[in-house]
Chains A and B, each alone.
Chain A
Amino acid sequence: MSKPTVGIFGLTGCAGDQLVILNCEERLLELVSLIDVRDFLMASSENDAACPLDLALVEGAVLSGRDAARLETIRQRARILVALGTCAVWGGVAAMDGGADRHRLLEDVYGRAGLNYDSLPARALHEIVKVDLKITGCPIEKEHFLAAIANLLHGNAPLYPEYPVCTECRMLENNCLLIERGELCCGPITAAGCDARCPNLRVACVGCRGPVGDANPSSLLAMFEEKGVDRQRIAARLRIFAPEGAVQ
């Protein structure tokens, strides 16, 4: 059987998920012996930018017309399209204030010239094209990426945790930052899979993996309010990595 053809792409973002792929290090060489990487601009100067792909891995959010056009081309080429990382899955940090006047922000940073830029409000991939698999995380976890490739090679869909960070944190028997120290920890509404990395270091969760499926933000909001934190601050905190619509 021929090896599956793969393309790895970055839209607008920090390139962190592509970096996680490169961080597979020795395992990277083993990985590329199992697949046929045809298009990976960050790692190669020889790419086939038109061939059909069995698998397209796309990181970053859509922030320009150029991004949207690239994504549509990638979708047309790909049998399976995977959204890689919180930006691709949710919109990420650039989507945190969807209500802001973009023209004003552009002018703030770039001056009047900014008004002519090809710039759109941040959108997740699924808002533009059909997405077949989502791997969240800012950045993604290396093991989740390797598990996805291994599963897809065997024709399976990988499974990821569908419970909040708190579940993992409790398994590690950490003291609760929220209840015991009154910190604005986003653990209760954030998708697990990081092994509660931050609370395990006594640092409050900022929600970088995006909301968990059955999140109950209103009960968390009530708990924070009970502790005397004002609503605006809570809302701002809950929306760092996902847009308003994602966290009600």
Chain B
Amino acid sequence: MRTLVIEHLARVEGHGGITVELEGDTVGNVHFDVFEGARLLEPLVRGKRYDEVAPVLSRICAICSVAHSLTSLKATEDAFEVRISPQAELLRELLYLGENIESHALHLFLLALPDYLGYPSAIALAADKPDAVLRGLRLKKLGNLIQETIGGRAVHPVNAVAGGFGRAPSADQMIELRSALIAGIQDSGAVIDLMASLPGAEFCRCHTVYAALHSPHPHSYYGGQEVIVASDGGRSTVHAADYKMLSNEESVPHSHAKHSRFRGQPFMVGSLARLTVNPSRIAGKVALAAERLGLHLPADNPMDNNKAQALELIGDLERAGEVVEQLLREGIEDEPPAAVHSRAGTGTAITEAPRGLLIHSYTYDAEGRIAAADVITPTALNAASMEMHFRRAVEQCAHRDDALLGKRLEMIARAYDPCISCSVHLVRKR
């Protein structure tokens, strides 16, 4: 028996690796190894008052810090039955779009693209193809501008609070954002040109189950309360309060890792899952781009998640433009956050982080302090599916050359856009 080990995955967020055991032609154990230190933020947040929870738990992950903050606030507001204003809802939607634009641009251009073009990094790639890298960096900057304007900071937003926002952005700031979005929408056409020009990545074919939030609006990441699991044309619905059906932490004998399955099957979350579960996301310019990239859903290739992220970039920029227009048209009011009256109770929120479903569930005591907190992250939900796709890629590789296999496995891992800081809650080994 021999073992293929990818010691430390590069160009991903956090510390993880891959181990594959091979016995002749048979593939033995396949592990997604996580060796991120345990920060134990869920037990540490116990006893914290409700207004301190989002600032602590956003620190689970920088790249998903808007997702963690807003999911945290949504769970707290669910527990206290706080209704935020329509303006605050729109601002949160826009803030979430900003994070998704930044995160997808970062992933596609800085982390995934170098693999397709045979470079070790975007920095090396920029020496030969500066236009492609600069375009990606401009889109990333635009995502950050949205987060800075609405959230007060690009990493770990500060302006979103229980009940709404500390201070609404000014009309001048929104006008500046509108100009930047118009330029960004012009850049996004070139993203599809670039994606369409990349060599194919056809080395892992596999029937895949997808899970995503049912979106009330085609391009919303923040709204919604129900998850849909799609498999073989069938759809099952899971309500937020029953989220444990998705995260039934199953112990696996080969490691300390606990894996999420739905009715015994691994499932994939993220961009590809969102498009599969919500066909209304593929319309207009996004539909044309999908055709151009040859993306057919449901996909049987996890590498298609990169194409799905590119499609979302198109849709997100368009939707962000609409939200800004609407806010300018209706007038932005510098309103205080809705009153928050804390009480004992439980609240659960599900949103779509850039990498997929994110769940925060809290129980509060009568003084408005956390008695119990549970956070389920997309990378933890994806772990079982990633291992399944690693296994299929090895099985489907005719030449068991370690360098080739290693490159393919790393590309699959990166296509999932894993966020390993986030994942440690469920998946852990070593």
Contacts and interface: CB of A to CB of B under 8 A. Distances in A.
B155 A93 contact: no
Contacts of B133: 29
Contacts of B140: 22-23, 25
What class of interface size applies to chain B in its complex with A?
Answer: 35 or more
A111 B37 CA distance: 16
A23 B144 contact: yes
B38 A42 contact: no
Nearest to B7: A49
A74 to B, nearest CB: 14
A164 to B, nearest CB: 17
Contacts of A47: 10
Interface in B46-89: 47-49, 51-52, 55-56, 59-63, 65
Contacts of A109: 38, 40, 42-43, 425
Interface stretch (B118-126, B288-296, B340-348): B118-126
A129 B236 CA distance: 53
A105 B63 contact: no
Given A14-B59, A43-B122, A198 B152 contact: yes
Contacts of B421: 13-15
Interface string B84-128: 000000000000000000000010001100100000111110100
B18 to A, nearest CB: 13
Interface stretch (A50-58, A75-83, A232-240): A232-240
Contacts of B428: 110, 113-114, 117
B38 A93 contact: no
Interface string B117-161: 000111110100010011001101100100000001111101101
A242 interface: no
Nearest to B169: A201
B152 A26 contact: no
Interface in A12-55: 12-17, 19-20, 22-23, 25-26, 28-29, 32, 37, 40-47
A199 B154 CA distance: 17
A202 B41 CA distance: 26
Contact of B61 (A15, A37, A100): A15
Contacts of A102: 40
Q: Which of A29, A102, A109: most chain B Cβ within 10 A?
A: A109
A216 B55 CA distance: 24
Interface in B220-264: 251, 256
B274 to A, nearest CB: 23
A122 interface: yes
B11 A44 contact: yes
A116 B429 CA distance: 10
A100 B47 CA distance: 13
Contacts of A212: none
B106 A22 contact: yes
Contacts of B166: 198, 201-203
Contacts of A32: 123
Contacts of B47: 236
A104 to B, nearest CB: 8
A139 B62 CA distance: 8
Given A43-B110, A109-B38, A203-B161, A16 B156 contact: yes
A244 B60 CA distance: 21
B413 to A, nearest CB: 11
Nearest to A43: B121
Interface in B357-394: none
Contacts of B430: 118
Q: Which of B52, B60, B141: most chain A Cβ within 10 A?
A: B52
A144 interface: no
Interface in B383-430: 410, 421, 425, 428, 430
A44 B43 contact: no
Interface string A74-112: 000000000000000000111011001010011011110
Contacts of A10: 14-15
A208 interface: yes
B159 A201 contact: yes
B38 A119 contact: yes
Contact of A45 (B49, B51, B114, B161): B114
B123 A29 contact: yes
A97 B45 CA distance: 10
A64 to B, nearest CB: 4
Given A14-B61, A109-B43, A110-B428, A197 B155 contact: no
Contacts of A204: 51
Contacts of A119: 37-38
A166 interface: no
Given A15-B63, A197-B153, A237-B52, A64 B123 contact: no
Q: Which 5 interchain pairs have the tightest Cβ spacing?
A: A16-B62, A12-B37, A63-B37, A46-B120, A44-B121
11 contacts: A14-B62, A14-B421, A16-B155, A29-B123, A29-B133, A43-B123, A108-B40, A108-B43, A110-B256, A203-B166, A236-B49
Interface of A: 10-17, 19-20, 22-23, 25-26, 28-29, 32, 37, 40-47, 61, 63-64, 66-67, 92-94, 96-97, 100, 102, 105-106, 108-111, 113-114, 116-119, 122, 138-139, 197-198, 200-204, 206, 208, 233, 236-237, 240
Given A28-B137, A45-B410, A122-B39, 19 more contacts: A14-B59, A22-B140, A28-B123, A37-B123, A41-B8, A43-B110, A45-B121, A63-B37, A93-B41, A93-B44, A94-B41, A96-B56, A100-B43, A108-B42, A109-B38, A109-B425, A138-B156, A201-B158, A240-B55
